């Protein structure tokens, strides 16, 4: 069986935890951030678990679980 290639865009956007969850970072982190409220900017900093409907698709892009 040949090796599978990791999608480099997905590698930078997602990571897997030790228990196998795929985590992602929330959206508009950098562009036009100065005018946003401090509370809103804090919400963008947290990492959250990927929605189950996207799990199969993203796990194909990172077959070996990116750390």
Are 15 and 66 spatial neighbours (Cβ–Cβ below 8 Å)?
yes
Alpha-carbon span 8 to 18, nearest angstrom: 21
Residue-wise pLDDT for 15-55, tens only, equals: 999 999 999 988 777 778 888 898 988 888 889 999 999 99
Residue 67 is predicted with a pLDDT of 67
The domain ranges of the chain are 8-61
What are the residues facing 25 on neighbouring strands?
A: 47
pLDDT of residue 29: 76
Look up the pTM and report it.
0.76
* Closest CA relative to residue 67, chosen from 19, 17, 28: 17
CATH of domain 8-61: 4.10.410.60
Burial of 57 (0-12, 13-18, 19+ CB in 10 A): exposed
């Amino acid at each position: 069986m040949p090796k599978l290639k990791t999608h480099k865009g997905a590698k930078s956007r997602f990571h897997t935890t030790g228990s196998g969850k795929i985590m992602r970072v929330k959206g508009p982190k950098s562009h036009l951030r100065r005018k946003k409220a401090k509370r809103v900017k804090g919400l963008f900093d947290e990492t959250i678990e990927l929605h189950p409907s996207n799990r199969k698709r993203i796990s194909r892009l990172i077959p070996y679980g990116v750390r």
